[in-house]
């Protein structure tokens, strides 16, 4: 079972690499502004999870530079997700507000919608 999962994961990563989407090009000032906004976001994810790949591809298309945190291999990030998000399910976007309070957003479609709104409001 583990071998099959690893094999499927490798195929997903391979196709993701071959068909890497192009990112949109913004004016420098505008990219700096959006980078400032996205510095408050962290994406907890697994490398070969198809839902995580979908979110990462959307980030790439929108040219959003968001730190990704490997919740599979990094025990610290896994624990953070479990303890603060409530469960180890990925992808999960940690959103920090101006007071430093964190909201944990699960569901790839919700994350993509949130990011689309964030970049279009820039």
Ligand X SMILES: N[C@@H](CCC(=O)N[C@@H](CS)C(=O)NCC(=O)O)C(=O)O
Site for ligand X in 56-115 (CB under 6 A): 87, 89-91, 107-108
- Rank residues 34 and 92 by Cβ distance to ligand X and give the closer one: 92
CA 32 – CA 30 distance, rounded (Å): 5
Given a contact cutoff of 8 angstroms between Cβ atoms, the answer to whether 66 and 43 are in contact is: yes
Minimum separation from the CB atom of position 19 to ligand X (A): 19
| Residues forming beta bridges with residue 45, ordered by sequence position | 70
Does residue 91 have a cis bond before it (omega within 30 degrees)? yes
- Rank residues 53 and 62 by Cβ distance to ligand X and give the closer one: 53
Interface map 24-63 toward ligand X (x if CB under 6 A): ----------------------x--x-x------------
Nearest to 67 by CA among 91, 98, 33: 91
Which residues form the interface with ligand X (CB under 6 A)?
46, 49, 51, 87, 89-91, 107-108
């Amino acid at each position: 079972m583990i071998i099959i999962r690893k094999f499927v994961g490798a195929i997903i990563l391979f196709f993701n690499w071959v068909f890497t989407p192009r990112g949109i090009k913004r004016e420098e000032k505008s990219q700096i502004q959006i980078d400032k906004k996205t510095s408050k976001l962290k994406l907890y994810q697994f490398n070969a999870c198809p839902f995580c790949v979908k979110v990462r591809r959307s980030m790439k298309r929108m040219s959003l530079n968001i730190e990704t945190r490997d919740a599979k291999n990094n025990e610290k990030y896994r624990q953070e997700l479990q303890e603060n998000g409530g469960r180890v399910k990925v992808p999960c976007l940690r959103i920090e507000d101006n007071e430093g309070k964190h909201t944990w957003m699960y569901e790839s479609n919700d994350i993509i919608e949130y990011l689309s709104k964030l970049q279009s409001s820039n």
